[in-house]
Structure 1
Amino acid sequence: MSQPICRVLVADDDPTVALLMPIALDPSEFSVVVVDNGLDALAEFKRTPCDIVLLDVEMPGMDGFAVCAAIRQSRGRDFPVVLVSGHRDPESIARAEQLNASYIAKPVNWQLISAQLKALLAQPRPAARS
């Protein structure tokens, strides 16, 4: 029996990320939807079920922190969100921690991103409340 495909929403305004993310995340394991701004990310999140969200911190419309905060309001603190940023400063990392989001620094290691997402998804999370 095959393992279910993980649905991933990626929001990043960098066209290179939009091109490489669906390739780096094996299509036999991941179904990837890519949008290029924060407003579209939030709309897609509300419209289409997904298992994990990757958000660029700096995007047009809404930044990744704001989108993450909106996701937290609708789905709680335990839904898997990853903030991706070229910023490695303690303030950015602390903001991600306050939002209970994982943090990956850019440049993304394309060889490791799949394993990183699998590890995050394998972490135990409390059962969803109705």
Structure 2
Amino acid sequence: MSNMKVLVVDDDEKIVKVLTAYLEKEGYTVITAKDGLEAVDKARKLEPDIILLDVMLPSLDGWEVCKEIRRTSAVPIIMLTARDAEMDRIIGLELGADDYVVKPFSPKEVIARIRAIFRRLQPIERESKEGVSQIGGLVLNKNNHIVTLAGTPIEVTPTEYKLLELLLAHPGQVFSRLQLVENIQGYAFEGYERTMDSHIKNLRKKLNALPDEPHYIKTIYGVGYKLAGEQNA
């Protein structure tokens, strides 16, 4: 992990100090920012591999920072929040965050979340012609991690990519929210399965961007979600 750069964004010096110590011990290179504007600037210029982003920040709050970064980058983002309200967590996820940790947290938990996201970036092992999965105009190429819709590349976050990869590997199969969490996050904890709806919502927006393309992700009410259509050979 020595080549992995982590951008830690928090105005609490104690939290930054503790996280930096734990991350460096694990072999990560740590970059820090103490306010929202500095975070956006460093995210663009230094291109970290993952961002730990506090919600309550000077200049720009974490939600605005997340929104701004998502305009140009799919870098994994873990929100750090002192507010244990479900709506706060859902807002972050709907803006494109991949995960969240509620303060006070254990640094070891943060490390575990980072590892889970990096595991998520690894392709699901399955048989697929030349590493390509396709349904209709939707194509996922696991060789270069590029997703295209009707020939046009679409920007997806690591969580969204993993969702598509799982659904494309099992077209027509219905997955409950909890199954999606366990398959994609690599772990499950109370309350998270409902926030999977936020990732599905974001992904649907991107997949339905073209008016002549079908609605790929179907809701099976009371059960979960499935990818509709026949997989191309």
* TM-score band, normalised by shorter chain: 0.7 to 0.9
Query: 1:84 corresponds to which residue?
Result: 80
- Alignment TM-score, normalising by the size of structure 1: 0.87
Instruction: State the structure with more CA Rg.
Output: 2
Amino acid at match of 2:21: I
- Give the number of aligned pairs: 126
Unaligned runs of 5+ in 1: none
Q: 1:112 to 1:26 in 2, by over 3 A?
A: farther
Q: Which moved more, 1:37-46 or 1:21-30?
A: 21-30
Query: 1:114 corresponds to which residue?
Result: 111
Residue of structure 2 aligned with 1:95, choices 73, 91, 96: 91
Amino acid at match of 1:39: L
Q: Cα RMSD (Å) of the superposition? A: 2.0
String of CA shifts for 1:47-92, please: whole Å, max 9, x gaps: 10210011100000101100000111111xx420011000011210
Amino acid at match of 1:89: A
Unaligned runs of 5+ in 2: 123-139, 147-152, 156-233
Residue of structure 2 aligned with 1:56, choices 49, 54, 57: 54
Q: Which moved more, 1:113-122 or 1:12-21?
A: 113-122
Correspondences of 1:1-130 after superposition (within 5 Å):
3-27=1-25, 29-75=27-73, 78-101=74-97, 102-124=99-121, 127=145
- Alignment TM-score, normalising by the size of structure 2: 0.50
Q: What's the % identity of the aligned pairs?
A: 25
